[in-house]
Amino acid sequence: MTITPETKDWTWVLEQACPQCGYDARAIPATDVARRLREQVPVWTEALSSPPARTRPNPSTWSPLEYACHVRDVCTRFDERVHLMVTEDNPQFPNWDQDATAIEDGYDKQEPLAVAAELASAAETMAATFDAVARDQWSREGRRSDGAVFTVETLARYFLHDIVHHGWDVTAGSTST
């Protein structure tokens, strides 16, 4: 099962533990997402600090570097989405083709240590955004171009799964196969 921010049937992420990475959104209060995001940064720093960072485990699976670029961009994209949700009424998020982004931005050619720093910065920005969400803002809504509706709360817990899952991908998951 490939987990991406644009997965169309996304609600299962909030209703059950992920069978691969074990993430269980039901056990994560949205107000805890910022702290848990910060805890994920060392996973990426470590994954990007060794030569295998550029190595794909097989031709159809991203390298740790490519996953890290994606996670960096997920942090940036979701930060934009949360800002839209707390400042506009029911915004529609701009569409994001993450596969096209990976190719256009040359994820596989980026510098691992630079990506590690950029990811840490993007994660901290996203965490600070979640820290700043007021109690009455967690229920504000926004929607993807496919019609999927999120609240800030569900978006936060959904977002964290993406980060945790891809951390699992580079440590115990698909890169070990």
Give residue limits of the domains in the chain: 30-176
Q: Which helix (H) or strand (E) holds 32?
A: none
Burial of 39 (C-beta count, 10 Å sphere; 0-12/13-18/19+) = middle
pTM for this one? 0.90
Rounded to an integer, the average pLDDT of 53-77 is: 95
Q: What is the mean pLDDT of the chain?
A: 91
**For residue 108, what are the contacts with CB-CB under 8 A and spacing of at least 6?**
54, 63, 65, 66
Distance CA 143, CA 114 (A): 32
What's the CATH class of domain 30-176? mainly alpha
Q: Looking at residues 112-117, what average pLDDT do you find?
A: 98
Instruction: Give dist(CA 78, CA 126) in Å, integer.
Output: 8
In whole angstroms, how large is the CA radius of gyration of the chain? 15
